A and B are shown apart, each in its own frame.
Chain A
């Protein structure tokens, strides 16, 4: 059994003597009737060697693909060694929330830098210190926009289904009412939007690039939304924002999304990194922790958790969100990644994906996989084919390739990142030819 206890039997005896009780009396305050009168029905503890062997065996039961052509909310990117090294420093990993500012300037500064990175990519004025993932960021954003007379939320159906599901669950007991707008040809059209906008609309939410990889006409949608007095929430992958126009520049009031692509592994779904950023007007509506810059008593620049009067420990039942713990270490990891890559590196990562996805799409077209939505896309796109999507997945899996996601019986959502070279894409095509001819 591993033991992380320090007190020896002798020390234990000393302490019991100092308290004036016997060991068997430690739990006297628990009524005897309730006590568990048997051991916990789990195996005895194992040594480190044994645990590692067991865990390695479990890990080996999971197939790690060498080529990954799937995104849909979880992307495979190259994570530089410096990111892994620095984000595993024990001072960061084993630290608590930085409530004691004088003691935690390192943590607070790293969060401030993360917030700055997010604001620069999204074009916004303020960001919070992270939330659990993109889906919960979107759900919390809904809460931010509700007004006394505006409780209707419009969401394009080209937003990720998991994000929409999360929003539906989050708002199931709230005053918000959700309307899903049908997209056509992969994007939301203004006539559909205009039909649903009213003086009761709080906001429109779209994703850009959206779940299908398509680029929405954000500027136009923004104009109509604002004309109706509503707000625009844009859900965006921050890696694409190194290349694409920022949500703010397109008219968004709030930008949210999943930042896993910034240096976090796919990790079977978590831990990920939800970001939330907004304009000066709405900063005080952001949920969760926020780091601000200030001065200490000697006039030195310092960082501190601020705007705390929004939060649960002060507002309690009047808080709009119960957010407490967030994804702090993931935010630090993302800011190390952004620093290591720099603006040029980030743009290159995005552009590799853009170029290779378009190349791959054209090659797929040649062998019978038609592009489903004939609108501009970034590094993800949907194909339809006579071949069943699951059959494609099974075939490529034999070659250690994870195909795009089957989103319908004959539809596949592909994603290409900097981790797959042109040569590898050609290889994939050759394997697919085996089943398309």
Chain B
């Protein structure tokens, strides 16, 4: 495999050089200096280039191929976004510059917030949270502030569906809430009777995503919103699945009080191998007094005496927000709606082509994603969802999301997004069907897949039992 950069190091090799020192030496009073130089790699510029070029050959992005990861919305990242994010007027400004010297940034952030309000039906947005989970935490703190301000201190619980993404209950826990899990009904929606049974004056909020993590729109959403509000709770929207509904329906109109969005999903900003993302939070009027410091609305910093404080330094992942704004300008009102339409069409097409060969977890039309259950394949052949995914790697295709949501056994969640073609999807469908065949005819082969990747299956037990988290210099 690849050498580590430290294994390319040669003593006294230099990379970038700097001008000579032009000011006198400084000897610090305390014994504060390092005894010896850090043992970092000593390499030349060409070593660095070759090293990262090699690493890039062992990375796979949307720019390399199809990435049908359910719940991640791996849509194409427009290159224009990279150009605008590199403009000096955006990347070379200090966050504490007087607002009069950064009118462009203040305007951009205000306009982005206002655009997101219109798309989601909310009244005000903060762009400070830097990821979806960060947005969830922020939203829950806002909910907490709202109830506390009204001296409604009994509300210590948050309800989360069993189909929810793990960040939902984890963020609620960080905000000091205890979690009530509510089961899904046979159609993957919230079990309304079960919800009624747990709603009372101790509930601060219900966290939902709609469409849910099965890719289905919950038809009971109005009733659910009414029930939660009647019990005095607030309704939180996890915006991970917004790509299904832009221009069709808005969370604000469904009755949600707080919303977070994932700009690195719906709004085309790149995933970067795990980040940086951006998780803006939108609220209805009654929650606006609590928005974090550093929120910019109408080109001014919002001054809230009841603010929850700040959830990070400065104003958020500004350059990610620049990319999202570029995307919104590019697509516009018509383009955003078309994107959701095509996302839903593509997902339904794939499902129609796979439903005869595989078990669809919840039958009926889906929205932008759908879930297959490979439990019966496993029962018949011993081949699991994981084995199928490893088999896909040999075809140089990124597998779908596996084992999520937890309520479906041997789950594979497929989300093509709108920026894929029929022919790409047809190829993927053929591969999946081929793999299913192989599961019956040659299961042992699949159990040991992949074969053509740079490394084979990893020993993750060893990695967890005896963690080695750094190179021994």
Contacts and interface: CB of A to CB of B under 8 A. Distances in A.
- Give yes or no for direct A-B contact (beta carbon below 8 Å): yes
Contacts of B2: 105-106, 109
B320 A14 contact: no
6 contacts: A20-B352, A45-B332, A82-B15, A116-B4, A321-B170, A326-B276
Given A42-B118, A82-B48, A354-B26, A26 B348 contact: yes
Given A1-B331, A59-B104, A105-B58, A270 B317 contact: yes
Given A58-B107, A271-B320, A336 B52 contact: yes
- Most-contacted residue by chain A among B130, B170, B173, B329 (CB, 10 A): B170
B247 A40 contact: yes
B30 A346 contact: no
A223 B131 CA distance: 38
A106 B173 CA distance: 34
B345 A325 contact: no
B174 A173 contact: yes
Interface in A24-47: 26-31, 33-36, 39-46
A92 B419 contact: no
A328 B176 contact: no
A389 B28 CA distance: 28
B13 A342 contact: yes
Contacts of B186: none
A73 B13 CA distance: 31
A173 B176 contact: yes
Given A97-B273, A107-B273, A322-B174, A241 B38 contact: yes
Contacts of A115: 469-470
B458 A7 contact: no
Contacts of B246: 40
Contacts of B450: 102
A117 B469 CA distance: 11
B387 interface: no
Contact of B87 (A56, A317, A325): A56
A330 B274 CA distance: 10
A325 B245 CA distance: 23
Contact of B45 (A30, A82, A290, A313): A82
B98 interface: yes
B231 interface: no
Contacts of B250: 36
Contacts of B78: 2, 4
Interface string B405-417: 0000000000000
B23 A355 contact: yes
B108 A98 contact: no
Interface size class of B (residues with CB under 8 A): 35 or more
Given A4-B419, A109-B2, A342-B16, 10 more contacts: A11-B421, A55-B329, A62-B97, A101-B460, A103-B453, A112-B469, A112-B471, A336-B48, A339-B15, A345-B14
Interface stretch (A158-166, A191-199, A364-372, A427-435): A158-166
Contacts of B53: 86, 89
A272 interface: yes
B69 A96 contact: yes
- Most-contacted residue by chain B among A68, A289, A296, A308 (CB, 10 A): A296
Contacts of B335: 1-3, 44-45
A307 B455 contact: no
Given A74-B95, A113-B4, A346-B38, A18 B274 contact: no
A93 B458 CA distance: 24
A281 interface: no
B302 interface: no
Interface stretch (A127-135, A149-157, A226-234): A127-135
Given A100-B399, A324-B133, A339 B94 contact: no
Interface in A271-323: 271-272, 283, 289-298, 300-302, 304, 306-309, 311-323
A382 interface: no
- Most-contacted residue by chain A among B108, B136, B264 (CB, 10 A): B108
Contacts of A15: 345-346, 348-349, 422
A12 B348 CA distance: 12
B406 to A, nearest CB: 9
A61 B103 contact: yes
Interface residues of A, number: 200
A59 B463 contact: no
Contact of B319 (A98, A267, A292): A267
A332 B59 CA distance: 13
B341 interface: yes
B377 interface: no
A114 B272 CA distance: 15
A358 interface: yes
Contacts of A96: 61, 67, 69, 72, 74, 271, 273-274, 398
A405 B96 CA distance: 8
Contacts, number: 682
A26 B341 contact: yes
A288 B40 CA distance: 24
B94 A344 contact: no
- Most-contacted residue by chain B among A62, A302, A307 (CB, 10 A): A62
B125 interface: no
A178 to B, nearest CB: 12
Main secondary structure of the interface of B (DSSP, over half): loop
A106 B55 CA distance: 4
A341 to B, nearest CB: 5
Contacts of B43: 339, 342
A270 B315 contact: yes
A257 B24 CA distance: 29
Contacts of B167: 312-313, 322, 324
Contacts of B24: 355, 358-359
Contacts of A318: 173
B267 interface: no
B417 to A, nearest CB: 10
Contacts of A202: none
Nearest to B58: A106
Interface in B201-258: 216-217, 219, 221-222, 245-250, 253-254
A207 B271 CA distance: 31
Contacts of B141: 169, 172-173
Contact of A296 (B6, B221, B456): B456
B398 A103 contact: yes
- Most-contacted residue by chain A among B87, B317, B344, B469 (CB, 10 A): B469
A332 B18 CA distance: 22
- Most-contacted residue by chain B among A85, A106, A343 (CB, 10 A): A106
A425 B14 CA distance: 28
B464 interface: yes
A180 interface: no
Nearest to B171: A322
Contacts of A319: 166, 170, 173
Contact of A165 (B13, B56, B108, B310): B310
B331 A356 contact: no
A164 B84 CA distance: 33
B173 A54 contact: no
A203 interface: no
A245 B55 CA distance: 32
B459 A297 contact: yes
A4 B40 contact: no
Given A283-B467, A300-B455, A325-B131, A136 B334 contact: no
Given A29-B216, A245-B32, A304-B463, A341 B15 contact: yes
Interface in B112-142: 115, 118-119, 130-134, 136-137, 141
A277 to B, nearest CB: 9
Contacts of B454: 102, 105
B102 A62 contact: yes
B87 A349 contact: no
B348 A3 contact: no
- Most-contacted residue by chain A among B47, B89, B264, B341 (CB, 10 A): B89
Contacts of A256: none
A391 interface: no
